Amino acid sequence: MKQRLLIVEPSEVIIEGLKSVLESQSRFKLLEPEVSADNLEERILSTHPDVLLVNPTILNKNVSALRNEYNVAVVALVYQYVERDVLKGFDGVVEIRDGRTMIIETLAQASPVAEQHSQNNYELTKRETAVLIQLAQGKTNKEVADALNVSVHTVISHRKNITHKTGIKSIAGLTVYAMLNNLIDESALL
Amino acid sequence: MKDFKSRLFSSESRLSDLITAYPSILSLLTRLGISLGFGDRSIADVCEQSGVDTTFFLLICNVYTFNNYVPSTATILGTDMTGLVPYLEKSHKYYVEKRLPHIERHLDSIAQELNGRIGKVFISFFEQYKQEVEAHFMHEERDVFPHIRALMAGKRDTTYGIDGFLQNHSDIEGKLDDLLNIVFKYLPPQVDDDNVLDVVYDILRLSEDLKKHTFIEEKIMVPLVRHLEKAILS
């Protein structure tokens, strides 16, 4: 199966350049690029990328947090000055002057991690588990969003993914699931 | 898939042939007012003896059998629908008095194998579901069915209109699917597999049945009532 690649980069010229570089390869499926990192998490939740190729200067979130929460490999796309320490956290670095083969190889090397975690992984992520626990206690989407400091939209996306993985839609059903998996106990129920 | 007619059974076929080909129809017979022991008689014969309209009987059987079959308005209006409301009422009764208690008994015995608190939550999930289903049916029996009976008798009662029906027609199969997932994926290994399988088959069957039931209400009952409402206004 092709790996899903999401480019997060403000420059249209760079995006177009990358597209034409990656066009002829068959390993990656290019998702519609994102020009800012503002709605990145929602975008990740709705499109399930395996690899992010992201401009570190616009990234407003910790790389390891992204990797852990969403099971994606995060590769830096560098054409400006970026501190070396910042780049250390990434799963790979694509330099703007790299050739086609080099770029594809960097992306491919970054993604084995993602490979085992991609769409066939039905284990809930830490974040999804946190959302599930809140929901199972009878909280509304809004209350969960406030408690976890994310948007309601993000909570809804997490819920969709939880349902996709478990096959359970209703809150009552998720509560039973949470109890069976020892995520909550009776005292947590209202 | 337009022409189902060529694949459908005619009223001259033996009822037993229809059932051999599509055993799920067996569960419909009582609800349609037909008892077992019909021997080798044709569908038309059995229907006549039981006082069931043959075209109505075939319409319901076809809907249950062919997943993509949506009867046209012309087919619906060309069918004697007197039997529809009694059929839906009997179906409700069948679900509430037969199927749900049956599943509940299985779940009770599974709950006994679970640790006390989890067993309790498990059972209360089903209790809650049962109450939702009963409330759903109650609304239809109290508001919708009398409305249809009045229309069929040529009377217009102004209190209820079918237009709101679809918006409020809540999904009663969804939670069963949740239950199914919980039961066969997430129960701890100490629960006896035979017990689990028994209830899985029962839930699957009920879920399928309820889907068809919803389909009949939304794709046959609603268009019929719309037509009757218009006819009475003009």
For an interface test with B, which of A176, A185, A186 has the most B Cβ atoms less than 10 Å from its Cβ?
A176
Out of A166, A173, A180, the one facing B175 most closely (by C-beta) is A173
Q: Where are the domains of chain B?
A: 5-69, 84-233
Query: Per-residue confidence at A114, pLDDT binned at 50, 70, 90?
Result: very low
ipTM entry = 0.79
Amino acid at B146: P
Judge: A180–B117 Cβ closer than 8 Å, yes or no: no
With contact defined as beta carbons under 8 Å apart, do B59 and B71 qualify?
Answer: yes
Is the domain of A151 the same as that of A59? no
Residue A165: CB atoms within 10 Å: 14
Instruction: Read off the CATH number of the domain in which A22 is found.
Output: 3.40.50.2300
- Angstrom distance (rounded) from CA B34 to CA B105: 28
Is the domain of A107 the same as that of A180? no
Query: Per-residue confidence at B3, pLDDT binned at 50, 70, 90?
Result: very low
What is the structure's pLDDT at B109? Answer: 92
Find the residue in A nearest to B171 (Cα): A170
- Angstrom distance (rounded) from CA B55 to CA B36: 19
B49-85 pLDDT, tens digit per residue, is 999 999 999 999 989 888 878 899 999 999 999 999 9
Residue A85: CB atoms within 10 Å: 7
- Report the number of distinct structural domains present in chain A: 2
What is the structure's pLDDT at A111? Answer: 72
- Provide, rounded to the nearest whole percent, the portion of chain A with pLDDT above 70: 93
Judge: A179–B118 Cβ closer than 8 Å, yes or no: yes
A121-175 pLDDT, tens digit per residue, is 788 988 899 999 999 999 999 999 999 888 888 898 899 899 999 999 999 999 9
Query: Per-residue confidence at B1, pLDDT binned at 50, 70, 90?
Result: very low
- Angstrom distance (rounded) from CA B53 to CA B79: 9
Q: Which residues of B touch A186 (CB under 8 A)?
A: 117, 120-121
Instruction: Read off the CATH number of the domain in which A134 is found.
Output: 1.10.10.10
Q: Which of residues 143-172 of A touch B (CB under 8 A)?
A: 166-170, 172
Spatial CA neighbour of B29 closest among B5, B51, B61, B53: B61
Among A63, A85, A117, where does a domain finish?
A117
- State how far residue B127 is from chain A, nearest Cα, in angstroms: 11
What is the structure's pLDDT at A116? Answer: 45
Among A77, A99, A117, where does a domain finish?
A117
Whether A39 contacts chain B with CB within 8 A? no
B20-36 pLDDT, tens digit per residue, is 988 889 999 999 999 99
B158 against B232, higher pLDDT: B232
Q: Which residues of A touch B186 (CB under 8 A)?
A: 166, 177, 180-181
Torsion over CA of B53, B56, B62 and B63, rounded to 10 degrees? -150
Establish, for the pair of chains A and B, how many residue pairs have beta carbons separated by less than 8 Å: 51
Is the domain of A151 the same as that of A101? no
Is it the case that residue A113 has pLDDT exceeding 50?
no
Average per-residue pLDDT for chain A: 87
Q: Which residues of A touch B122 (CB under 8 A)?
A: 176
Query: Per-residue confidence at A115, pLDDT binned at 50, 70, 90?
Result: very low
Is it the case that residue B174 has pLDDT exceeding 90?
no
Average per-residue pLDDT for chain B: 90
Among A97, A117, A137, where does a domain finish?
A117
For an interface test with A, which of B115, B118, B121 has the most A Cβ atoms less than 10 Å from its Cβ?
B121
What is the structure's pLDDT at A133? Answer: 95
What is the structure's pLDDT at A119? Answer: 55
The predicted model gives A38-57 an average pLDDT of: 91
- Angstrom distance (rounded) from CA A127 to CA A42: 13
Q: Which long-range contacts (CB under 8 A, 24 or more apart) does B189-194 make?
A: B190/B113, B190/B114, B191/B110, B191/B113, B191/B114, B192/B113
B159 against B75, higher pLDDT: B75
- State how far residue B119 is from chain A, nearest Cα, in angstroms: 9
- State how far residue A112 is from chain B, nearest Cα, in angstroms: 29
Find the residue in B nearest to A189 (Cα): B121
Judge: A169–B129 Cβ closer than 8 Å, yes or no: no
Is it the case that residue B5 has pLDDT exceeding 60?
no
Is the domain of A85 the same as that of A136? no
Judge: A166–B181 Cβ closer than 8 Å, yes or no: yes
What is the structure's pLDDT at A112? Answer: 58
Q: What is the DSSP letter of B191?
A: S
Note down the domain range covering A13: 3-117
